[in-house]
Amino acid sequence: MSQAHTFLKTDFIAELDKAARKEGYSIVVFNSSMDYYWEQNGSNISGRIYELIRYDKLAAVVILAGDLHDTQLQEEIIHNANIRKIPVIWQGGPHPGCMSIRCDYEDAYKSIICHVVREHKAADTFFLAGIKDEVNSQLRLRFWQEVMTEEGLPCGEDRVAYGNYLKSEAALITENVILKREPVPRAIFCANDGMAAAVCDTLKAKGLRVPEDTVVTGFDGTLTAYLSKPQLTTCDSDHKGQAELIMEQIRRFGGTGEVETVCTHPFRPVFSGSCGCPGTAGGHILTEHDRLCPPERHQGARRGR
């Protein structure tokens, strides 16, 4: 993996560690601070960390494909594991030589859209997409369009803009496009949490209330969603369920020598303040340190002093 220090990665690592310990395993994380999006195929020295992998000590290899963009490095790791008959679990859709985990968020995301339309009576909506023609951006846009069509509500191109997943562009689109509409849309669906937070800030700066005047939703379940005021309604990955799925496949390999070719891991909807629902209980935000070192560990350490 790469960039293990970020919010979603620490969640996943903590849950995988818990699930592995229950089965008598320990995890070893090989991590780079870079994701190699711009520097691929061995051109960066930090990639040497992956040369330290001791395959003879491993029961399985888990690759977070969306975080490690060096295709040559990916294939080298898969090849080294395959020739030693070590199962490779690839998070990010089907891939040769791996048991693949396909993330499925259609049901979860559509449930958020339906909830906003039906429960919060939002008939006039707008969709702030990510990068035009990028797969996940187009999927999220398509799911919005499908729900709008099923509900008999408008979803034409005049109700869509592309913010490239960036807060700065989302703020500009909100001010120069969305706020020019008469009336301002009752709900704005954003393709990620960062853009949703920027939309909320821009609306509030112009005197509008979220969610009373306009409902805003995000996607990803990032730290931004929980730090925002109000907290964002969003769609996030069930890290505990994903960790348990990985350990289930390792158990299966230990018993049969086989793993499933493709497993589906569903996302979950999180309804919160930005759509008018109650937010996280008590508004408590866990830091990365809290997630990896629960309070009981801290207390034990203090008692030992």
**Is 305 domain-assigned?**
no
Domain count, the chain: 2
Shared domain check, 283 and 256:
no
Shared domain check, 40 and 176:
no
- Percentage of the chain modeled with pLDDT above 70: 82
In tens, the pLDDT along 175-234 reads: 999 999 999 999 999 999 999 999 999 999 999 999 999 999 999 888 889 899 999 999
| pLDDT higher than threshold 50 for residue 293 | no
**Is 303 domain-assigned?**
no
Shared domain check, 127 and 99:
no
Shared domain check, 279 and 145:
yes
pLDDT band of residue 114 (cuts 50, 70, 90) is very high
Q: Which of 141, 145, 137, 147 is nearest to 110 (CA)?
A: 147
CA distance 250 to 65: 18
| pLDDT higher than threshold 70 for residue 23 | yes
CB count, 10 Å around CB of 138?
Answer: 15
Parallel, antiparallel or unpaired: strands 234-237 and 262-270: antiparallel
CA distance 127 to 162: 9
125 and 148 in contact (C-beta within 8 Å)?
A: yes
Whether pTM exceeds 0.75 = no
**What's the start-to-end Cα distance of the chain, in Å?**
36
| pLDDT higher than threshold 50 for residue 302 | no
DSSP helix, strand, coil percent of the chain (3-state; round to 5): 45, 15, 40
Shared domain check, 162 and 74:
no
**Is 2 domain-assigned?**
no
Shared domain check, 231 and 212:
yes
| pLDDT higher than threshold 50 for residue 72 | yes
Shared domain check, 110 and 42:
no
